[in-house]
Chains A and B, each alone.
Chain A
Amino acid sequence: MRLLLHIAARMGMALLTMLSVSLIVFVAMRMLPGGFEMIILGPIQTEEARAVITEQFGLDRSLPEQFLSWLVAVLHGDFGISMITRIPIADEILRRLGATVQLTAMAVITALCVGLPLGVAAGLADSSTSVRTCGRLVGALGASTPDFVLGVALVYIFSVWSLGLTVGGYVPFFEDPLANLRAMILPASTLSVFGIALILRTTRESVLTVMTEGYITGAVARGDDPASIVRRHVLRNASLPVMTVATIYLSLLLGGAVIVEILFTVPGVGLYTWNALLNRDYGVTQSAVLLFSGVIVTCNMLVDIAYALVDPRIRGRRQQ
């Protein structure tokens, strides 16, 4: 019962957050200088022609009216149409979701596969100066290199020397898996570098902390097998902070994916949102941001629930 109440409270908070984000984005979009009618018609145009466009899309209505009608439609599952293409936004987003999901999945898997073992190794072998230095260096470099800097460098290098990988040549995975991977390796690598550093550093710190705990000393004193100590005690106890940063990383990935999709021309939701923002295609931006915020709050909610499941003290504390 306690757990159910905890979940219900988290879901309520999640919905409130999404509503707030939608409102903020709606207001922010309308405060941006320049409107859709300017973009679609270009600068050399008459006031009359612009007025026709604003009326056609209901952009001449009051802001509360526009927001409420959008919200009501969304609650009915209607995200509206793109003002540029007149195609339903839900269809456009759905078509692009595959590329973004693949990109983020590849980045997360790479970050976990590289960051976790390196972090555990760095934590376990902390007494070695070279391992410690190496771990810190990789962590600092990865964390301090912005993905747009790395991305620009990779785009330039691989446009001059192809080296078997392609820049801007996205093909859906099920159409041509090899061509897809050739196009996705660079953007996924760019996106994963920060994640590798983040997970490496967090894992290393967690392992170091756990290693000083009494039960580890006890296990060593008992003569337990070192591999078993790592598996049963170190990894299990170090996993909670890693889980937290992995979730934060997933949230960051959505922001990073926008930049990486633009740089490598990956036709995902990020690129779509960016172009919509530039074109003042309001409905698309609002719907995409709603989707992003939905993913983020869902991730956070799932972590919270997982925390509560793993550690009963947390759900007890929340109920007090």
Chain B
Amino acid sequence: MAIWRFVNLIAATLVTGSLVLVGAAQAGSGGSIAWGKPTEVISFDPHVSGDGASWSFFHLVYDQLLSTDDDFGLAPGLALSWEEVSATSYRFHLNPDATFSNGRAVTSHDVVANFQRLTNPESGGVWGKQLGEFEAIEAEDDHTVRFDLALPNPVFLKVLPLTPYSILPMTEFEAGTFDPAVDILGSGPFMVAEHLQDESWTLTRNPHYHRAGHPLIDELVIRILPDDSARIAALRDGRVDIATFANPDTPLLLADVPGVEVVVQNTTNYFRLDVSAIEEGSPFTDLRVRQAAHYALDREAISNIVFGGQAIVDYPVPAGLGYEACRDDPFYVMPRDERLAKARALLEEAGATGARVGVIGSSTLMIYPLIAQVVQANLNEAGFDAFVEQIPAAEWYARVFAEDTDFDLAVSWFAGYTDPAIVLFWWTQAGAAGWAHGYTITDDRLDALVARTRMLPEGEERNDALAEVCSVINENSNVLALVNKPDYVALRSDLIEARIGRNESTFDNLKYAEEFSRLD
């Protein structure tokens, strides 16, 4: 037996040694891969940044405490494991190999200071609110952190993989040698070597990355190519190996490009229609008019006309998360003819037939004006006199997300994240404060329902609560979910090997970038 143990030990040593050698051979020998990205990173500070274009970049250089898998489940991030000590206490065990790209190990202190910054209203902004209140955040040792919550929050763990909860090097921040508004320094697979604004980012492999032998490539070049055609041309002539698109025609446009594979990445994100419910003079201050607009919406038409049938009808509780809530709501299930009749009747009852309303479809995303056009047609069928307003982002923000709003309807989108309670929080007064309070009504019943949903663990009771929340949201007809928002990732599968997640809930479009490799 002892001989066999010895033989096994030798074999295991040889295998392990070979793997290490292979890993070492692979590391740093993978060349460069280029990503054609449609939008530039606007804000460099993940704690306050609020745009998905920046978020998809942050995941390449920053780590979060937890991550998600392809089924929206939780996966290890900087924390290799975690435990629920009690209903209000969680303990995280950090990866001892986790190191920032400057060579300093990630410690519990970094985690604690990050969450203190996030929960400070001035520095963390809106994202601290999603975490709830803490009794304490403590470093038990260099690699163990304990969070004591003020109230039970089953959603707490599911919030942690979100981009704003990226772990920054807080020791350097406190020493004044790292400014998150200007510098980018994380523990993720890549680090920034060069940035040419509006042109490109050159990321090189983080030599201290905690996953041995990874990333497989030496360099990831991000080329900012806002025009779809420019990205298609770049894919065709090999200037980029991967490109991301929001355009639903992407698979068609790339069908003839040799070697290109298009992956439709399902997300929990969905488009929505914001309705101006409290602005003086808006016809939508009348609940009947809001409901008329809601009944008039034809989500199937949006999917078919704008997305070529590839999008699915979505609900306040994101369809991508697999919940059944909202599915039997009359605003959705009633046949289209009946809904139109109902809309016309409501509009007439409110004396608002022929009401002239603008539908803002900002030019920020090429999809917005297209959705706005279908919404316009839907509304006109019901007796509105709707028109489309195509305006730039800054004007849209100023007219909609302000104290004094100036709009009727506006197309936008919500990130669905990893749990419905996270997105539903934006419907509450606390969640809407500071950005949507200018157009959303105050509904204490809804606030209480969402708070309850947040406290409930997975199960029948939570499903019922979600259904109730959905029903109230739809009845209020203030923020209307439309259709889901898939992302399209095109890659030169003849040149590179790249695993692309089929489902994504945290804007980590290139989640497996550390495993990308060149075939040539």
CA distance A44 to B427 in the complex (A): 12
The 5 closest A-B pairs by CB, nearest first: A42-B50, A34-B394, A168-B230, A49-B125, A34-B398
CA distance A38 to B362 in the complex (A): 15
Give B431-448 interface residues, CB cut-off 8 Å to A. Answer: 433-436
**Known contacts A46-B433, A48-B125, A92 near B197 by CB under 8 Å:** yes
Seen from chain A, the residues whose Cβ lies within 8 Å of a Cβ on chain B are 32-35, 38-50, 52, 82, 84-87, 92, 95, 155-156, 158-160, 162, 166-169, 262-265, 267, 271-272, 275, 278-280
Whether B225 lies near A168 (C-beta < 8 A) is yes
Residue of A nearest to B225 (CB): A168
Q: How far is the CB of A39 from chain B (nearest CB, A)?
A: 6
**Known contacts A41-B43, A44-B50, A52-B122, A166 near B233 by CB under 8 Å:** yes
Residues of A within 8 A of B225 (CB): 168, 265
Whether A38 lies near B239 (C-beta < 8 A) is no
Apart from A48-B434, A166-B233, 10 more pairs, CB < 8 Å = A32-B394, A34-B393, A34-B395, A35-B394, A42-B50, A44-B426, A46-B435, A156-B229, A162-B233, A167-B229
A-B contact count (CB 8 A): 143
**Known contacts A47-B434, A275-B198, A41 near B426 by CB under 8 Å:** no
Chain A CB within 8 A of B227 CB: yes
Q: How far is the CB of B364 from chain A (nearest CB, A)?
A: 9
Q: How far is the CB of A212 from chain B (nearest CB, A)?
A: 49
CA distance A167 to B232 in the complex (A): 9
Residues of B within 8 A of A52 (CB): 122-123
Whether B230 lies near A159 (C-beta < 8 A) is yes
| Proximity string of chain B (368-396) to chain A, C-beta cutoff 8 Å, 1 when within and 0 when not | 00000000000000000000000011111
Chain A CB within 8 A of B237 CB: yes
Q: How far is the CB of A162 from chain B (nearest CB, A)?
A: 6
CA distance A41 to B46 in the complex (A): 10
Residues of A within 8 A of B175 (CB): none
Q: How far is the CB of A131 from chain B (nearest CB, A)?
A: 37
Chain A CB within 8 A of B397 CB: yes
Residues of A within 8 A of B392 (CB): 34, 278
Chain A CB within 8 A of B126 CB: yes
CA distance A179 to B499 in the complex (A): 31
Q: How far is the CB of B38 from chain A (nearest CB, A)?
A: 11
Residue of B nearest to A43 (CB): B401
Which of the residues B195, B198, B227, B394 comes within 8 Å of A280, measured between beta carbons?
Answer: B394
| Interface core residue of B195, B401, B426 (most chain A CB under 10 Å) | B401
CA distance A111 to B36 in the complex (A): 33
Q: How far is the CB of A33 from chain B (nearest CB, A)?
A: 4
Residues of A within 8 A of B229 (CB): 155-156, 159, 167
Residues of B within 8 A of A262 (CB): 226
Chain A CB within 8 A of B400 CB: yes
CA distance A279 to B197 in the complex (A): 12
Whether A168 lies near B234 (C-beta < 8 A) is yes
Residue of A nearest to B437 (CB): A47
Whether B197 lies near A82 (C-beta < 8 A) is yes
Chain A CB within 8 A of B49 CB: yes
Whether B197 lies near A84 (C-beta < 8 A) is yes
Residues of B within 8 A of A49 (CB): 48, 121-126, 434
Residues of A within 8 A of B400 (CB): 43
Residue of B nearest to A83 (CB): B181
Which of the residues A33, A85, A86, A167 comes within 8 Å of B394, measured between beta carbons?
Answer: A33
Residues of B within 8 A of A47 (CB): 434
Whether A45 lies near B236 (C-beta < 8 A) is no
Q: How far is the CB of A42 from chain B (nearest CB, A)?
A: 2
Q: How far is the CB of B243 from chain A (nearest CB, A)?
A: 11
Residue of B nearest to A266 (CB): B199
Which of the residues A85, A169, A280 comes within 8 Å of B197, measured between beta carbons?
Answer: A85
Whether B232 lies near A159 (C-beta < 8 A) is yes
Residues of A within 8 A of B234 (CB): 166-169
Whether B50 lies near A279 (C-beta < 8 A) is no
| Interface core residue of B123, B126, B436 (most chain A CB under 10 Å) | B126
